[in-house]
């Protein structure tokens, strides 16, 4: 058999090399870095004219690209128009019962006990007598500006409606800071329910105990 002409061999070699070139470019692109955007044959609106956050713009009189929401704009789910659930108020006065969104069951009380232990017990104590570890430490070192936390079992606290207790957690009272920014509304109500359980545990009368749960002293 006659050998292939030299020019044909050269052409075949060039064709093979040319076919490998796109693969080499693809491999390089996978491992290399570039601060330039990739070539978009079909942009599909991926790259559009825009102004970045905090950028300047001559399109508006104030020179800012970022625009304020229209006056009165409310985010989805942000209306908070339920006064009882969000503010502890019903018909213009403190709510005396839990909101309908909060179910008074063991799960709610357990959640309230957990949140109470995190946010309230450090000052008020686990049993609510105002003898938490922070209070004990402050009294031990003689902190001059320290105010002893209120016992949650004092009569004026027990007599407060649940809505007022919710408001105290939300906005703070006297030297107690506000926790509205840190504790969601549902958890605040759970804490209120647990505080009521604590108060009842320390001030219940025999009449408050179901007959099935009492022990006959005779």
User: How confident is the model at residue 216, as a pLDDT?
Assistant: 62
- What is the chain's mean pLDDT, rounded? 89
The per-residue pLDDT for 84 is: 96
Structure letter (DSSP) for residue 56:
B
Q: What is the pLDDT of residues 160-199, one digit of tens each?
A: 999 999 999 999 998 899 999 999 999 999 999 999 999 9
Element (DSSP H or E) covering residue 164: helix 162-171
Q: What is the pLDDT of residues 16-31, one digit of tens each?
A: 989 998 888 888 878 8
Over range 118-129, report the average pLDDT.
95
CATH architecture of the domain formed by 83-213: Orthogonal Bundle (1.10)
Return the minimum-mean-pLDDT range out of 41-50, 83-92, 156-165, 196-205.
41-50
Q: What is the pTM of this model?
A: 0.66
Per-residue pLDDT averaged across 30-53, rounded? 80
In this structure, what token pair is assigned to residue 101? 């969104």
């Amino acid at each position: 058999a006659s050998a292939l002409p030299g020019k044909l061999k050269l052409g075949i070699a060039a064709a093979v090399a040319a076919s490998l070139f796109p693969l080499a470019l693809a491999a390089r692109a996978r491992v290399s870095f570039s601060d330039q955007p990739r070539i978009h044959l079909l942009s599909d609106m991926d790259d559009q004219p825009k102004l970045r956050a905090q950028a300047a713009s001559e399109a508006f009189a104030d020179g800012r690209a970022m625009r304020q929401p229209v006056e009165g704009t409310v985010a989805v789910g942000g209306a908070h128009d339920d006064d009882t659930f969000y503010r502890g108020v019903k018909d213009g006065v403190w709510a005396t019962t839990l909101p309908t969104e909060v179910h008074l069951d063991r799960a709610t009380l357990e959640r309230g006990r957990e949140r109470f232990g995190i946010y309230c017990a450090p000052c008020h104590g686990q049993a609510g007598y105002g003898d938490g570890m922070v209070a004990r430490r402050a009294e031990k070192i003689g902190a001059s500006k320290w105010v002893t936390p209120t016992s949650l079992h004092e009569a004026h606290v027990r007599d407060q409606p649940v809505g007022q207790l919710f408001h105290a957690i939300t906005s703070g009272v006297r030297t107690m800071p506000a926790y509205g920014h840190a504790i969601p509304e549902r958890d605040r109500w759970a804490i209120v329910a647990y505080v009521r359980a604590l108060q009842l545990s320390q001030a219940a009368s025999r009449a408050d105990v179901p007959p099935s749960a009492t022990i006959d002293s005779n």
